[in-house]
Amino acid sequence: MNIELSPKQCEFINNATHRFNGKIGATQCGKTFIDISFVIPDRILERRGKAGLNLILGVTKETIERNVLEPMRDFWGENLIGTINNRNIAILFGEKIYCLGAEKVSQVSKLRGAKFKYVYIDELVDCNEEVFALLKSRLSLSYSVCDFTGNPKHPKHYVKKFIDSDADVYCQTWEIDDNPFLDPKVVEELKKEYAGTVYYYRYIKGIWMAAEGLIYRIFSDNPKRYFIEKDKLPLFIEINAAFDPGGTKSKHAFVASGITPNYRQLIALRSERHEAEGTVPSHLDKLACNFVERVIKDYGRLDYLYYDNEASVLGRGIKEAVERKFPQVSVRPCYKGEINDRIDLEIRLLGLDRFKYTEDCETLKEALEEALWDDKNDDVRLDDGTTPIDDLDAFEYTFTKQINRFIQ
C-alpha cells in the first residue's frame, strides 16, 4: 500500500526513535493520519511476541473510538481493526490492545502493576496528569515506546513542562500549513474562525499560548457586525431557550436562540436578566412563563426550554409551570458539556459570521463584550461575579447538545 506523506510526516518517521515521541500542534494538520496509517501498526507489529502490554489511552473510550479506531478501520478494514469489548480490549492486527480513558484519576488503578511495551496517547494535553505520571513508570521495558499527539494549551501545562524536561522525548511542533493535502479553502476558513483569539495561536500556529484578556475580542471590537434586524431573520429549524439561576453574586438569566437549516447559523433572539436575591420559586416560575410567552409571541413557537441540571428543584418547578401553560414546549435539564468546548464553538461561529443577535439581546451582548479569561487560573473563564457570566451559561445551554452538528 502506497501512502503519500508530507515532509513533516516523513520527518517524524525518521526521528521518532525515542522513548516518548510526540506531535503537538494545529488542528487538521495531519498529525493523526501518519499514526493510524503507519506509526501505530508498525509499533505494534515490531513488538509482537515480546513481553508487555499494548495500550491506547485517550480522554475517554469514546474519543479513542472516534479519533483512532474508526479512522484506522476506514484505512485498514474491519478485519484488522476490532472494536473495544467490555474488558476494554480491542484486537488490532491480531494483537490485544487495552483501550482506556484518561480523564479520571480512577483510571490509574487499571494501570497499576502492568508493564507496557507500547502506548499510544490521543489528545495527551487533555488527559489527567496523574494518569500520565503513573503511565510513565509503567514504560519499564527496554523496548517500551510511547507515541502521543495533542493540541497546545497554556505554557505552564504539565505536558509542556514534560516536553521541555531532560526526559527522552522527541516532539514536533505542527502548524496547519504543514499539511499540504488540506484543501486551501478549509485552511482559509479555519484561519477565519480563530482569527484574533488565543485559539489562532494554538490551533492554527501550534503555539503554546496563555489565554488572557477578553475572550470574544472579535465581537467586542465590532458588535454591530453581528447585529441582525428582526424583519431580516431567516427560517429556523429549532428555537430553544434556557435559564441559568442566579445566586448572591449573580442574576437569573434567560436566553432564546434559533438554529437555521443545516446548522449554518446560530442567532440569539432574546435575552433577559433578573434580580436573584430574595426570589422565591413561584416568582421564578412566573419569570420563566413570561419569557416563554414573549418568545412565542415574537417567533410563533418555542421547542425546548432547558434549565441548569444542577438546579433540579427549581427546574422541576419551572417545568410544571411552563408545560401547564404552554404544553407545546418541552422543558428539560440542560446538557452542559465542557465550557471551553462551548467557547471554542462561539469563537468559530463569530469568526465565520455564523452568529447573529437581535435588538432584544442587550444583556447577552453585554456578556459577550465583557467576558474575560481568569488570569489566576489557566484556561478558565472568569466567574467571580464581576462579569455577567450567567447570560453566557444560559445562551450556551440552548445549543450545547448540538455542538458537533455546528462543526461538521
346-389: pLDDT as tens digits: 999 999 999 999 999 999 999 999 999 999 999 999 998 889 99
Set of cell numbers at residue 114: 502492568
Confidence grade of residue 108 (pLDDT, cut at 50, 70, 90) = low
pLDDT of 107 reads 67
**Arithmetic mean of pLDDT, 106-124:** 85
Rounded mean pLDDT of 173-196?
Answer: 94
User: In this predicted structure, what is the pLDDT of residue 9?
Assistant: 95
Q: How much is the pLDDT for 301?
A: 97
Question: Cell 489566576, residue?
Answer: 376
What pLDDT band is residue 36 in, cutting at 50, 70 and 90?
very high
CB 296 within 8 A of CB 326: yes
Type of residue found at 209: M
- Phi, psi of 224, rounded to the nearest 5 degrees: -65, -25
Report pLDDT for 105.
Answer: 67
Taking residues 225-247, what's their average pLDDT? 95
Confidence class of residue 112 from pLDDT cuts 50, 70 and 90?
Answer: confident
Residue 255 phi/psi, 5-degree rounding, is -145, 140
Is 96 in a helix, a strand, or coil? strand
Query: Could you give the percent of the chain with pLDDT greater than 90?
Result: 86
Helices 339-351 + 184-194 axis angle, to 10: 110
Q: The sheet that has 116-121: what strands, in order across it?
A: 89-92, 95-101, 53-58, 116-121, 145-150, 20-25, 169-174
Segment 265-281 shows an average pLDDT of: 90
Q: Say yes or no to pLDDT of 306 above 90.
A: yes
pLDDT over 90 (residue 2): no
User: What single string gives the DSSP state of each residue in 303-345?
Assistant: -EEEE-TT-HHHHHHHHHHHHHH-TTSEEEE-----HHHHHHH
Strands (E), 4-70: 20-25, 53-58
Average pLDDT, the chain: 94
* Domains, the chain, ordered by start: 7-182 (3.40.50.300), 217-406 (3.30.420.280)
Q: Is the pLDDT of residue 250 over 90?
A: no
Task: Name the band, by pLDDT with cuts 50, 70 and 90, for residue 312.
Answer: confident
User: Is the CB of residue 21 less than 8 Å from the CB of residue 170?
Assistant: yes
C-alpha cell at 157: 501545562
The model's pTM: 0.86
